[in-house]
Structure 1
Amino acid sequence: MADKKDYYDVLELQKNASADDVKKAYRKLARQYHPDVNKAADAETKFKEVKEAYDVLSDDQQRARYDQFGHQDPNAGFGGGGGGADFGGGFGDIFDMFFGGNGGGRRDPNAPQRGNDLQYTMTIEFKEAVFGKETDITIPRTETCDTCHGNGAKPGTKPETCTTCRGSGQQDVAQNTPFGRIVNRRPCTTCSGRGTIIKERCGTCSGSGQVKKQRKIHVKIPAGVDEGAQLRVTGEGEGGVRGGPSGDLYIVLRVKSHEFFEREGDDIFCEIPLTFTQAALGDEIEIPTLTEKIKLKVPAGTQTGTYFRLKGKGVPKLRGYGQGDQQVKVTIVTPTQLSEDQRELLRDFASKSGESTHEHSKSIFERMKRAILGD
């Protein structure tokens, strides 16, 4: 017994580890050293050590005796046994790890099964996203066959129970290994895991119990949706199998851009050009909104880049009440083609305002150049 490792060390645990800690450690290490996964030369030995440690520490009475006597307990015989590892209840944990089962429990292959969910991408206009819309879409999906009502058999006949697996859909295959006899559960090769045999197949669905159809669905898009929004339409996905419920349809929205408006959350943004005269003297201008045109008073002396807020002229709030705002940015537009009379008026304006004209600024730069070059 002197060469036996401490069970807590084997499972990489402290002595005050909880039962849940023991189970987690066992699952981790059993997965790591299982011979079907780990091909190292010592994997089988380590796997046996882990299993032996788990058998003791997972049992309250054996663990208490081990904590008191260690491997010297004369009445325990830890890890004893004579001819190979006995997986017992522990095999359920291993089966769960590698095959996703629940301790190797059988599933009824003829139980109703929910249909798959579907995803459909829909592109809508900018204003449709703002105000919502109702429309019809057509999607391809799998539905229950109307001819055989989903059982796959020719009308007047019915599926028969598989004689190989007796309707379970699974076969047990025994295998002798160095650490005991293991029974692997696999889908029945005769019925392909269905549990039934169809001798005369339905001519409409070829025995699958399902057919592909084009389905028209009425969709209501709520006001205020935005790019990437996802709508769920319950029960409009793939049809269920053997009487199971249908899956759901998820509609992902793509929103086209607008030539004039931009959107940020529930607010709408737009840009309005102003002439120099409008900005300097002030004006009342017409602003387009999502629903109408309104008058906006621009105060004298407005600077380019100024924002004006039109309260409640934005997007309806998707979850809640009210609407966002419309933010109007003004940009001063500089004229590019001026007559000589207009130029003279601007020079006169600049002179009376104490501003430097282009010609005056040019002469200043010339003087600076001469000063720098020493001319």
Structure 2
Amino acid sequence: MRAGALDPYELLGVDRDADDAAIKKAYRSLARQYHPDVNPDPEAQERFKEISHAYEILSDPQKRAAFDRGGDPFSGVGSGGFGAGFSFTDIMDAFFGGQAGGAAGGRGPRPRVRRGQDALIRVEISLAEAAFGVNREIKVDTAVLCETCSGSGAAPGSRPVACETCRGAGEVAHVQRSFLGEIRTLRPCAACRGFGTIIPEPCRDCGGEGRVRSRRSLTVKIPAGVDNGTRVQLSGQGEVGPGGGPAGDLYVELQVARHPVFTRQGNDLHCTVTVPMTAAALGTVLTLPTLEADLVSETSSPDMVTSFDLEVRPGTQSGTDQAIKGYGVPGLRGGRGDVVVTVLVETPTGLDAEQETLLNQLADLRGEQHPSGQLRASSKGFFGRLRDAFDH
């Protein structure tokens, strides 16, 4: 070390046989204490220069060995006092506790082979297919492995070579002077884009990417009970990554088409049936289709239930709901919802003379020729009506 200079071991407070980890730990602690951005005291700035100078010696095996032999650690290395060749990344390392690059261990070249992105495709299905499940063939347009180069990106018979600019490191050093001396930062190599290698003869089919776009067919199994917006994941069926890297996942988002009869609420199916006034008064039995009826084909199971009976009880009022248990949508975790049928009573119009006479006779028998009506006070304001709407 130069004459009059302080002992670097004493400056950092470490033993002479301290290893690299202990030296770096001591420097980090002192740098956080004396860095000018933290401690504006002029003495602290001078102290920071001294400990940085000491660290520069002890972190470099050649300089440390020269000092231990009693020689000048900077002999033949260059002059300029503190900071000659000192890496800015060591200072950043002291504050953020990691290696930001530099001689002590940089990021290195970034890999050409990386995982591909996930892909999303939307598929429309019918309500019956959503309820009972279906195997659907889909067409997808994604990046796939280039078969010509098997993902390497190089033309057949060639291979990537080390970049001459960064010598395979993927990074190049940029040096600038500051009050700290020479600050060295690492940036991705522009010649190889940080890969550390260059492909002199790119594959003609993929242009060096290791992947090409292709349209292909897939079969997706849609489970029973899915709903609008449900996503089915197909692992490894997404985009192949750069350099032929592993493929991402494919997500199939389901759009359920509107049904002409049923609307879905959770696992229940709702529908409306209109009956004549006489049927509502006297009662009747209606045969209505199930959702399974949409799936009837030559290959359908003979045990498939395609209809159910709805008993309209005598005196049924318009707007009455009747639930038929177990004919709704199967749940993803088992069980099955109901079919809820709303009965609307149709008032006859366009009566002929005989029909009008019969209704008049019925009205006479029931004392309904001059009905007074049944008025009920509507005591609820806006919020009361809103609450009733939610209750129903």
| TM-score greater than 0.5 by the shorter chain | yes
Aligned to 1:367: none
Change (3 A) 1:119 1:88: closer
Q: Give the alignment of 1:174-253 within 5 angstroms.
A: 174-177=175-178, 181-242=182-243, 244-253=245-254
Aligned to 1:3: none
- SS of the aligned residue for 2:356 comes to helix
Identify which of 47, 55, 68 aligns with 1:81. Answer: 47
Q: Which runs of 5+ in 1 are unaligned?
A: 1-46, 54-70, 362-375
- SS of the aligned residue for 1:352 comes to helix
Aligned to 1:302: 316
CA distance in 2, matches of 1:102, 1:237: 34
Q: Deviation at 1:149?
A: 1.5
- SS of the aligned residue for 2:148 comes to coil
Contact 1:144 1:241 in 2 (8 A): no
CA distance in 2, matches of 1:344, 1:93: 103
Contact 1:84 1:179 in 2 (8 A): no
Change (3 A) 1:307 1:218: same
Aligned to 1:120: 121
Aligned to 1:32: none
CA distance in 2, matches of 1:295, 1:83: 92
Between 1:129-138 and 1:103-112, the stretch displaced more is 103-112
Q: Deviation at 1:270?
A: 0.7
Matched, 1:316 2:330: yes
Q: Percent identity between the aligned chains?
A: 39
Aligned to 2:130: 129
Aligned to 1:43: none
CA distance in 1, matches of 2:99, 2:89: 14
Matched, 1:52 2:42: no
CA distance in 2, matches of 1:111, 1:208: 9
Structure 1, residues 119-141: CA drift from partner, whole Å, max 9, x if none?
11111112111111112212111
Between 1:257-266 and 1:132-141, the stretch displaced more is 132-141
Aligned to 2:364: 351
Q: Deviation at 1:288?
A: 1.6
Contact 1:287 1:295 in 2 (8 A): yes
Contact 1:84 1:178 in 2 (8 A): no
Q: Deviation at 1:356?
A: 4.3
- SS of the aligned residue for 1:351 comes to helix
Contact 1:85 1:179 in 2 (8 A): no
Contact 2:152 2:244 in 1 (8 A): no
Aligned to 1:159: 160
CA distance in 2, matches of 1:280, 1:93: 89
CA distance in 2, matches of 1:252, 1:303: 42
Amino acid at match of 1:226: D
Identify which of 334, 353, 357 aligns with 1:340. Answer: 353
Change (3 A) 1:355 1:255: same
| Number of matched pairs | 287
CA distance in 2, matches of 1:178, 1:349: 109
Contact 1:93 1:103 in 2 (8 A): no
- SS of the aligned residue for 1:226 comes to coil
CA distance in 2, matches of 1:355, 1:93: 96
Contact 1:85 1:180 in 2 (8 A): no
Structure 1, residues 254-296: CA drift from partner, whole Å, max 9, x if none?
0100101110111111101111111111111112211211222
Matched, 1:330 2:331: no
- SS of the aligned residue for 2:337 comes to coil
Structure 1, residues 337-366: CA drift from partner, whole Å, max 9, x if none?
1112222222232233222448x99xxxxx
Aligned to 2:295: none
Q: Deviation at 1:88?
A: 6.3
Contact 1:235 1:246 in 2 (8 A): yes
Between 1:188-197 and 1:253-262, the stretch displaced more is 188-197
- SS of the aligned residue for 1:91 comes to helix
Aligned to 1:172: 173
Q: Which runs of 5+ in 2 are unaligned?
A: 1-34, 53-87, 293-305, 374-392
* CA RMSD, Structure 1 to Structure 2 (Å): 3.0
